[in-house]
Amino acid sequence: MTTPHRDVFEAMLERLEELGEVTGKAMFGGYGYWESGDMFALIHDGRLYFKADESSEPEYRRARSTQFSPPMPGGRAPMAMPYWTVPAGVLKDDRRFADWAATAIAVGHATSKKGKKAPAGKAPATDAPKKAAPKKAVAKKVAAKKVGAKSPAERAAKASSRSERPARTNRSDG
């Protein structure tokens, strides 16, 4: 099955790839775009939407963008998503397009439910808050690198050598 608006998807992907590790794929009758694994944009009915947050949303409202609110199954009310149409003036101006896309990428990273950080040197410069790495993950990495730490293979070999030894018994001479 061919998804409509493939030409729009490919044209936007080509423009967005210059901003980082951008990928895209068909999904739910439209397309999504990700940078380093975090979604930041989509195409629905031939329109490009960028992800916004409380700091960037007012700019979309001033530009009279519309919020992405896909219809829900079962006749439920549409659900407002944090994606907004990219204004025509932004689409026509390469510099503004890159700025708005960079902001959307930063929002995508900041709001990622995966909790991972953007690779060093890849995140655009914005005022968006950055997520801190979880402390437990850092502690585990540090513990694994301690001097004298055994690898899983070394621990398995040691365990099997223990099972081959004769069992110790307490004997009393007397």
Domain of residue 77: give its range.
6-131
CA distances from 9 to 58, 60, 81, 173 (A): 26, 21, 20, 86
> Is 96 contained in some domain?
yes
pLDDT at 174 over 60: no
Cβ–Cβ < 8 Å for 49, 82: no
Report pLDDT digits (tens) over 8-50.
999 999 999 999 999 999 998 899 999 999 999 999 999 999 9
Q: What's the total number of domains in the chain?
A: 1
What pLDDT, on a 0 to 100 scale, did the predictor assign at position 32? 96
**What mean pLDDT do residues 99-117 have?**
87
pLDDT of residue 71: 82
- Kindly state whether residue 90 falls inside one of the protein's structural domains: yes
User: From CA 111, how far away is CA 120, in angstroms rounded?
Assistant: 17
- CATH code of 70's domain: 3.30.1460.30
**In the prediction, which pLDDT does 113 show?**
84
Query: Exposure of 101 by Cβ count < 10 A (0-12 exposed, 13-18 middle, 19+ buried)?
Result: buried
Does 174 fall in a domain? no
Q: Which pLDDT belongs to residue 168?
A: 46
Which pTM was predicted? 0.63
pLDDT tens digits for range 69-81: 988 889 898 889 9
What was the pLDDT predicted at 39?
A: 96
User: What's the half-sphere exposure (Cβ side, CA atoms, 13 Å) at 144?
Assistant: 8
The per-residue pLDDT for range 111-164, each reduced to its tens digit, is 998 755 444 444 444 444 444 444 444 444 434 444 444 444 554 554 444 444
